[in-house]
Structure 1
């Protein structure tokens, strides 16, 4: 205990020493590397980089150019902020590696088995992408899972009907609905109650937040190689998360192994089990796919609701379009929602202004290469500031305004072919679930706005909404939830 106290007392001085020792400033004179500031400049403004890194890095780009570099400890980080350089990075095999904190890779089952976080696009990564494409991401798989989406949305609607006139946390409702859609596609099971009011619900939500938070927070061992062997805290935290992941999926895996399906009704779990994946590997993959399929999708749906509520004329136009083009008797026809061009434009404009995860998942140079005529050494962390590209006045007229009509008559889509608009990234590491995410967002929001009127509680004002939107730019914050009051406007559905 005494040694621990002594270590904690001297830790700040150790950090200052190592930061000073390793923090090498990058200037225009060092022509091989992209230019950039000295690390001390960043440390003096650490609160801005911690709370709004997408803004802070965009400010640096205005000084040092669209490709700049910084050193944090022994780690070189390069940041791209223009569509031209983004294209060069995202289309380049040598910059297709991933960088996540070592804590994430310390969770048993994740080291060599990941789609989202695989360090390189190796054979296992390709195999998992192929399985995912067949059972989750392809047009055929999306069509096959139509009934799952519809059933989960109906559960949401029936719950909301019982809450008419009450203030409720709409984030929780959307999150639970999307999570249960994804969980049923993965393993034919619900994971959450619709209002997240159970102890198991809260534990699982906390675990998801912890995994996402720590996957975005490098530890000392990731920045200073000298600490890698001493980083017992990360290993202990990884094992704690592993036990919770096993607790979440353990009974489901045991039950499902007893009845593996080989027919047309097989799901993602059936395929993994038939291909001899271990329980640890299956649990890890199910959790990764669950988080990837729910976290950012929920953020987009919540943000879209906020934008529609703040712009009533746009909301009325969306409702009219859904009524005229997608209504099938007393239900919304999902297949025709994609034909609602203005509604689709609203989704695109929401993703442009409020992309979930301003940098996506960091890239890593798998070997030394050239980007924009600068040298990028092997293992450099590479960030693409998608937020800055989406608000670049060179790409968009009046970029900070919410104007869905900018996408009408435009061929700009979600799929990474247009580098001024990259909500799901592009290239080899583009999010494979882009179409699934859009399907979930459009179906849930269409039902919410067509069948209900929504009001904010008296204590929700413009300041509250601005704070919620600021938080949603970087993370899904439960501490500052969006509460709304539903009122049924289309009764026929419930008769």
Structure 2
């Protein structure tokens, strides 16, 4: 066994440098490749990424330009760091860059073939996208499920009231994450998957959270494809185990619904109006191409994206408000004037809350949920701004750098919701200096649901409670360090003391 290990290391020592030299020659043969750092043998510029790649790449782009090429191991990568270059890549050449760079761990159980997020730009992806746009995330469908979301937010407020009565700190991220999971679960299955009052994390919550943790870890197999058969960090094996567990939960929920439908045979079948009803109807049509097996990855997409991004955004918004008490007072005054103190916030109230909307936009600008977006891939060799981007190149759009670009934003690093008041700038993919959800055909399809969730939860927390930092901490002492992952999260979770502003606001 020791000899085998020694031989393996020897072959890798010979093979990896040889492959790197070949790749470097191929990389530099493209004379019109965008400028960028040369990097080190074998690893390229990997060591320059550090723990916060969005910040490191932003600094490198200041040296090499807003369209920058570099090697990350054996992966040729182009980084987009300006609104002008983002418009070129995501709008003018949208079709050419609509492919996906898919990580090794994502390929287990053929997840990437049926995932809306990771499937390549082709017939299957277009059908998934069509279903989402015409059946799942339409205003009519989301309006139908408004009552579910409002009920789940009331459950959150009751949980916070319990913590308040006990004099406990509230972990904003944890509460927001559990609530977001229940909001998604009720939108899809018309039932909860998390008990906010239980100390147990719950199976779905623990699975989704661990998938997010795994997804945030750099995988050596992605940068050095020769290592994929080894799976040196075990990420593929662990992802497979977690997906199987999550699929098992989905199967139980689907079986329960189908049994209910079967029991109603000859009688009146209950109409849920949720996403599962739509998807099961599709599986009954052979021509649709949908089966129970291939809707599981779509359900997984919805649970992961629908819980992580909204909860991170809510935590960052609360963090910034606690750091800027005057702005918290402004949004709470708006809530009092628009809603009063005798009833809870409803989704229909949001359109009458311009400062709240501006607050959410500014949070998404300063803390974009996916700082490098989901990696794009060049499906064809394409010329952009006089440079050549070869086929199969990975393309990263640094929305974190773009949304802090002083050429686009005055006082770019300051938290100023007022900049969005009386402004028609929005996050729907047309204003390329503000694209937290991406743009073009790969823009986040769940944005309509996620935005509703964030506004409703945030407005409800601010309407029902005043919030204070623990132990006499001053606002300027609040830690705003970040950790890089699928979403950009606070390094130290936000905890604060709630104090009821009106007990009439909770049903």
TM-score normalised by L of structure 2:
0.88
* 2:314 alignment partner, SS class: helix
Q: Is the 8 A contact 2:149 2:186 kept in 1?
A: no
Give the structure 2 partner of residue 446 of structure 1.
459
Q: Is the 8 A contact 2:322 2:475 kept in 1?
A: no
Q: Is the 8 A contact 2:142 2:449 kept in 1?
A: yes
Distance 1:224 1:349, change over 3 A: same
Whole-Å separation in 1 of the counterparts to 2:74 and 2:27:
17
Q: Which runs of 5+ in 2 are unaligned?
A: 284-289
Q: Is the 8 A contact 1:136 1:268 kept in 2?
A: yes
Q: Is the 8 A contact 1:414 1:434 kept in 2?
A: no
Total equivalences in the alignment: 490
Whole-Å separation in 2 of the counterparts to 1:157 and 1:116:
32
Whole-Å separation in 1 of the counterparts to 2:103 and 2:372:
15
Give the structure 1 partner of residue 171 of structure 2.
169
Q: Is the 8 A contact 1:356 1:475 kept in 2?
A: yes
Q: Is the 8 A contact 1:69 1:76 kept in 2?
A: yes
Distance 1:8 1:161, change over 3 A: farther
* 1:297 alignment partner, SS class: helix
Q: Is the 8 A contact 1:161 1:488 kept in 2?
A: yes
Aligned pairs (5 A) from 1:69-108 = 69-91=69-91, 92-108=94-110
Whole-Å separation in 2 of the counterparts to 1:425 and 1:328:
37
How far did 1:345 drift?
Answer: 0.8
Aligned pairs (5 A) from 1:21-100 = 21=21, 24=24, 31-40=31-40, 49-91=49-91, 92-100=94-102
How far did 1:226 drift?
Answer: 3.4
Whole-Å separation in 1 of the counterparts to 2:48 and 2:351:
39
Give the structure 1 partner of residue 374 of structure 2.
361
* 2:50 alignment partner, SS class: helix
Q: Which runs of 5+ in 1 are unaligned?
A: none
Select 1:194's aligned residue among 176, 196, 200: 196
Q: Deviations over 1:227-282 (max 9, x none)?
A: 44554845533431232222332321221222349765332222222322444323
Whole-Å separation in 2 of the counterparts to 1:56 and 1:41:
20
Whole-Å separation in 1 of the counterparts to 2:21 and 2:153:
55
Q: Is the 8 A contact 1:26 1:38 kept in 2?
A: no
2:450 equivalent to 1:437: yes
Select 1:488's aligned residue among 461, 482, 500: 500
Q: Is the 8 A contact 2:154 2:506 kept in 1?
A: no
Q: Is the 8 A contact 1:354 1:472 kept in 2?
A: no
* 2:84 alignment partner, SS class: helix
- Comparing 257-266 with 309-318, which one deviates more in the overlay? 257-266
How far did 1:368 drift?
Answer: 1.3
Q: Is the 8 A contact 2:323 2:475 kept in 1?
A: no
Q: Is the 8 A contact 1:416 1:430 kept in 2?
A: yes
Give the structure 1 partner of residue 282 of structure 2.
275
TM-score normalised by L of structure 1:
0.90
Give the structure 1 partner of residue 327 of structure 2.
314
